[in-house]
């Protein structure tokens, strides 16, 4: 084989390797972003405990079941069979289905009106999020050589802390906005609006006057004064 042919072949392999590596990091970036969203959905629940107790009328024990048991048990035990499915079936399809599933159940949590509904929806969130990590680790292992595998996995693991931090940041903003909306809507829900207050105050003043001077007091006083004046003339 000619030297020029060997050099051109090695250059093509180098370009092909660089393209494959860029695509591998693209896959890691997408998986990390999905991991961020999973922890965002997971951790933001801890910031709405007070509104949750007020709206659903639940106890502290029920709140702990929603935050811990309903999610953690299903997330843990469903990860094993889903990992087995990732060994057999298309891993990208499993990740997409899990993402759609936990997003739908998370949105449904906002519509829950009872403790039982919220409990079932949180279980669904745990099952959906259990589909991500087994398939993600398997994909990363296939795309990276052993010399770069630890770096790729560490980048993917950053999604835990980025998602947790964003959940507290965005969750705090959302809770503050909801509290502001409640305070703004509170005066409108009462029986007295700002426009009705002057009329209400006038009615209250008239009632106090009517109680302090009952009807007939003025007329009785005037009758007594007339009677006295007549008796004096006589």
Domain limits at 110?
Answer: 11-187
Split into its structural domains, the chain has a count of 1
70: Cβ–Cβ under 8 A, 6 or more apart, which residues? 119, 122, 123, 126
Kindly provide the residue ranges of all beta strands, DSSP E only, lying in the chain, ordered along the sequence.
Answer: none
Task: Please indicate, yes or no, if residue 225 is contained in any of the structural domains.
Answer: no
Task: Please indicate, yes or no, if residue 127 is contained in any of the structural domains.
Answer: yes
Q: Taking all residues of the chain, what is their mean pLDDT, rounded to a whole number?
A: 79
pLDDT above 70 (res 220) = no
- What digits encode the pLDDT tens for the residues 74-91? 898 999 999 999 999 999
CA angle, corner 228, sides to 223 and 234, nearest 5?
130
Q: What percent of the chain has pLDDT over 90?
A: 37
Q: Can you give the pTM of this predicted structure?
A: 0.69
Question: pLDDT grade, residue 229 (50/70/90)?
Answer: low
Q: Is the dihedral of CA 179, 184, 188, 194 positive or negative?
A: positive
Task: Please indicate, yes or no, if residue 228 is contained in any of the structural domains.
Answer: no
Task: Please indicate, yes or no, if residue 212 is contained in any of the structural domains.
Answer: no
pLDDT above 80 (res 227) = no
Task: Please indicate, yes or no, if residue 27 is contained in any of the structural domains.
Answer: yes
Task: Please indicate, yes or no, if residue 207 is contained in any of the structural domains.
Answer: no
Here the CATH number for the domain that contains residue 18 is 1.20.1250.20
Q: Long-range contacts for 157-164 (Cβ within 8 Å, ≥24 apart)?
A: 158/32, 159/31, 159/32, 159/33, 159/34, 159/35, 159/36, 159/38, 159/39, 160/35, 160/39, 162/32, 162/36, 162/39, 163/35, 163/36, 163/37, 163/38, 163/39, 163/40, 163/42, 163/43, 164/39, 164/43
Residue 121, both tokens? 């929806």
Q: Tokens 């709140």 belong to which residue?
A: 63
User: How confident is the model over 111-135, as a mean pLDDT?
Assistant: 92
């Amino acid at each position: 084989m000619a030297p020029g042919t060997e050099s051109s072949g090695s250059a093509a392999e180098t370009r092909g390797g660089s393209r494959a590596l860029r695509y591998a990091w693209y896959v890691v970036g997408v998986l990390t972003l999905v991991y961020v969203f999973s922890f965002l959905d997971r951790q933001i629940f801890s910031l709405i405990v007070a509104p949750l107790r007020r709206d659903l009328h639940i106890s502290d024990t029920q709140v702990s079941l929603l935050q811990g048991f309903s999610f953690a048990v299903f997330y843990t035990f469903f990860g094993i069979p889903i990992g087995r499915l990732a060994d057999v079936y298309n891993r990208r399809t499993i990740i997409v289905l899990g993402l759609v599933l936990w997003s739908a159940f998370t949105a449904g949590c906002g519509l829950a009106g009872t403790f039982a509904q919220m409990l079932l929806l949180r279980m669904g969130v745990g099952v959906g999020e259990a589909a991500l990590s087994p398939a993600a680790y398997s994909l990363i292992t296939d795309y990276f050589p052993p010399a770069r595998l630890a770096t790729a996995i560490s980048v993917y693991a950053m999604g835990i802390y980025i998602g947790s931090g964003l959940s507290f940041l965005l969750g705090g903003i959302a809770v503050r906005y909801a509290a502001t909306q409640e305070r703004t809507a509170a005066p409108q829900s009462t029986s007295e609006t700002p426009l009705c207050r002057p009329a209400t105050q006038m009615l209250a003043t008239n009632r106090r006057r009517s109680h302090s001077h009952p009807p007939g007091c003025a007329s009785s006083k005037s009758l007594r004064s007339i009677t006295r004046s007549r008796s004096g003339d006589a």
